[in-house]
A = this chain, B = another copy of it.
Amino acid sequence: MARLIGGDLSRLRQLNALSAIRALRESGPLTLSALADRTGLSRPSTKEVTDELVALGWVEEVPPSPGTMGRPARRYRFRAENGYLAGVDIGGHNVRVAVADLDGRILAEAKRPVPPETPLEERLSAIEHAVSMCLDLGGIAMADLWTIAVGTTGTLRPDGSIAYSVAIPSWTGLDLGARLRAMFPCEVLVENDSRLAALGESRRGAARGASDVVFLHLGLGMGAGLIIGGRVHQGFGGAAGEIVVLPEARWLEATEHLNTCAVVPPGTPLEHAAGHTLAAARSGDPVALEAVERYTDDVAIGAAALALILDPQIIVLGGGFSRSADVLLPPLRERLERRCIRMPALAASDLGDECVVIGAIDYAAEHLESRLFTPDAGALPLPR
């Protein structure tokens, strides 16, 4: 059983404990010497803080690596199974859920379709049900869930309410954070889906290791998520990344070039139209290729505005159309190279359809540290 650290240690010891937990979460099991190296603490302080963390249940000794000769040095690990995190991606057509341990290791995933026209209460029930099913799948009790991080489409206010959503009309004006907090007995974080996708790609996807990242969501809707200095950039009022609303950036109607191309069979539902155009372009159809050229003409304006303003290390293409990155990347690269002062790296999403849900897990896992030392024990459910 782990106890809250906040009330038990002095401020300096708390900082040392946080350094030790951070090092163990980043590196996996470490000997005391390696932990002292990683934290910069003296060997005696490292021993002291480790003993305290073991007594509190946050850290435990692990068996020596098999095959170790002689008397092996003790190694310690962070007990990531003290609690669990859920990531939820609420899109226009689907709800995805993943559950993970406190290190963000994913233990189960679930997905269910929820069409855009689904009434509000029915959508909220579907979310609750998907989270329950995913916890069952992972063999995790709801009471052991510490944090749910939700990524959803739309412009969010800093309090987790939704100012505006095109993809889910019933979302506009909803205090989603409050509704989810009433539904789940744990901490709830709400973020824009493109921002969480950007975080996921920067932590374990195409932008791994980069601290300045632009995630472009290319699909029926368009959006951007920003990582600046290694962190999600929300903006002062939570409205960062919304270049799509500037008509001169030409994102608003870019998708029309793909949706209305002559190669799309009559009667095709809107959500499948662009897929036909992109497939035909891949086969070399000149009409479809022309539509892709016009589409990337438009996408490149907003993308260049992002690149010129932020000078990111990398732009990651995600969203439904990024499955056709082979078709889209070359013309987009050519247009950006013409417009940028310094051309960023340009790559397709590694995490694909899971980028939001994985980013949500990473968001919850990184948020954890800020809560480990909260003096208010009620704020952090203690694992049983």
Interface set of A (CB-CB < 8 Å, partner B): 10-12, 40-42, 45, 155, 163-164, 210, 212, 224, 226, 228-229, 231, 233-243, 245-246, 248-250, 301, 304-306, 308-313, 339, 341-342, 344
Also in contact, A236 and B250, with CB within 8 A (given A12-B42, A245-B339): no
User: Using Cβ atoms and an 8 Å threshold, which residues of chain B touch A212?
Assistant: 235-236
The 7 closest A-B pairs by CB, nearest first: A235-B311, A237-B342, A236-B313, A240-B311, A239-B311, A239-B342, A239-B341
> How often does this chain occur in the complex, in copies?
2
User: Using Cβ atoms and an 8 Å threshold, which residues of chain B touch A309?
Assistant: 224, 226, 240-243, 305-306, 309-310
User: Using Cβ atoms and an 8 Å threshold, which residues of chain B touch A224?
Assistant: 309
Enumerate 14 A-B pairs (CB-CB under 8 Å) in ascending A order.
A212-B236, A236-B312, A236-B342, A237-B342, A239-B311, A240-B310, A241-B309, A242-B341, A245-B308, A248-B249, A248-B301, A305-B305, A306-B309, A309-B309
Which residue of B is nearest A313, CB measured?
A: B236
A235: which of B42, B241, B312 is its contact (CB, 8 Å)?
A: B312
Which residue of B is nearest A211, CB measured?
A: B236
User: Using Cβ atoms and an 8 Å threshold, which residues of chain B touch A210?
Assistant: 236
The minimal Cβ–Cβ distance linking A86 to chain B, given in whole angstroms, is 27
Instruction: State A210–B235 Cα separation when bound (angstroms).
Output: 12
The minimal Cβ–Cβ distance linking A185 to chain B, given in whole angstroms, is 32
Counting chain B CB atoms within 10 Å of each CB, the highest count among A224, A238, A239 belongs to: A239
User: Using Cβ atoms and an 8 Å threshold, which residues of chain B touch A233?
Assistant: 228, 310
User: Using Cβ atoms and an 8 Å threshold, which residues of chain B touch A249?
Assistant: 248, 305
A311: which of B234, B305, B311, B312 is its contact (CB, 8 Å)?
A: B234
> Are A163 and B341 in contact (CB-based, < 8 A)?
yes
Instruction: State A234–B212 Cα separation when bound (angstroms).
Output: 11
The minimal Cβ–Cβ distance linking A197 to chain B, given in whole angstroms, is 17
A242: which of B239, B301, B308 is its contact (CB, 8 Å)?
A: B308
